Amino acid sequence: MRFYNEQRPFYCGVDLHARTMYLCILDRDGNVVLHKNIKTRPAALLRAVEPFREGLVIGCECMFAWYWLADLCAEEGIEFVLGHALYMGAIHGGKSKNDRIDSEKIARLIRGGTFPLSYVYPAQMRSTRDLMRRRMYLMRRRSELLAHIHMTYQQYNLDCPARRLRYAGNREGLTDPFDDGSVKKMMAVDVAVIDQLDELIKDLELFIVRHAKVHDGQSFYLLRSVPGIGKVLALILMYEIHTIRRFGSVGDFVSYCRLVKCSHSSAGKISGSGGRKIGNAFLRWAFGEAACLLIRQLPQAKRWIDRKEKKYGKGKALSLLAAKLGRAVYWMLRREEVFDVSKFFQD
């Protein structure tokens, strides 16, 4: 966990919402110099903070509406910090809770050096990262429709198609085994939506690849050198990581990717682990997929996983391989080196 601990003349805590935002500005002595509710408009914010802009830092909790505030502060030369939503327990731990109280708590956390920092993703690549996440959403909807087709065959005690329905040519004639007109229509709708999603996803991938080569073509190339990491996984890793330099150590990186467990202990006794939802869920999924694909492509990976499986079991073995792959990716990007199979399996 990282905290903001710089000294500033003024500290502004913002309890941010879609239509309104509550501001609380403290001076260096902790006195409240401004406390008011305003509309979420750039002009309104700039008017409110105008007397305190010299040395001002603005902070808010990480929620869906922070993009415009971070971009505005960057344009105006105002320092902006983003609070990690899962670490900001001081906001949610009070007996009373409202926007006025929350904004002051945020300002006091910033001033006191206990404001937990979250990464402020730069605007240049942020929209493409969100587009990549939208592509993943569409792929999940496509998978649900394919699963629904198989489920419908099973409902009517029919043999499921032996062909892979992921290919458009294998989806012809899916409605033929059914006699009921409503079922035929339902299946036809599923196929039509899948066909449309195929076109949208293909177009999205071409668009994102073009942008990836402009944003960070070197990282895209390095990630694709790993067996099992293809175009899509490389794009997910590249845009979710952004820059490997923002991680101080390999431990910080694998923790952010949810590839390691964090133990809880007290008085020398380990009481379990926690924090499973703290980190990047997209990177955890991507490394899990990459580990499975690595086993398919490299015999060395299959032998390695077999040894670990005998000792830890299948699930733990796959988690260990995903964590090992995460560490390898960290050093690859840090040193700007391609994947080396001999180094990866040297232990």
Structural domain boundaries in the chain: 3-118, 125-224, 234-263+277-344
Residue 98 sits at φ, ψ, to 5 deg, of: -155, 180
Amino acid at 239: Y
> Could you tell me which of 1, 18, 3 has the C-alpha nearest to residue 81?
3
Using N-to-C axis directions, what is the helix angle for 299-312 and 281-297, rounded to 10°? 110
- State how far the Cα of 329 lies from the Cα of 286, in Å rounded to an integer: 12
- State how far the Cα of 227 lies from the Cα of 332, in Å rounded to an integer: 13
Point out which residues pair with 23 in neighbouring strands: 14, 36
Amino acid at 135: R
Using N-to-C axis directions, what is the helix angle for 231-241 and 181-224, rounded to 10°? 70
Could you tell me if 36 and 14 are in contact, meaning their C-beta atoms sit under 8 angstroms apart?
A: no
> Could you tell me which of 1, 120, 101 has the C-alpha nearest to residue 58?
120
- State how far the Cα of 347 lies from the Cα of 339, in Å rounded to an integer: 16
CATH code 3.40.50.300 for 3-118:
no
- State how far the Cα of 153 lies from the Cα of 109, in Å rounded to an integer: 57
Check residue 67 and give its pLDDT. Answer: 95
> Could you tell me which of 151, 158, 140, 143 has the C-alpha nearest to residue 186?
151
Q: In the structure, what pLDDT confidence band is assigned to residue 191 with cuts at 50, 70 and 90?
A: very high
- Count CA atoms closer than 13 A to 64's CA, side-chain side: 4
Q: In the structure, what pLDDT confidence band is assigned to residue 130 with cuts at 50, 70 and 90?
A: very high
Q: In the structure, what pLDDT confidence band is assigned to residue 347 with cuts at 50, 70 and 90?
A: low
Which stretch of DSSP H or E encloses residue 99?
A: helix 99-112
How are the residues of the chain apportioned to helix, strand and coil, as percentages rounded to the nearest 5?
55, 15, 30
Q: In the structure, what pLDDT confidence band is assigned to residue 173 with cuts at 50, 70 and 90?
A: confident
Mean per-residue pLDDT over the chain, rounded: 92
Longest alpha-carbon distance in the chain: 78
Q: Is the pLDDT of residue 95 over 90?
A: no
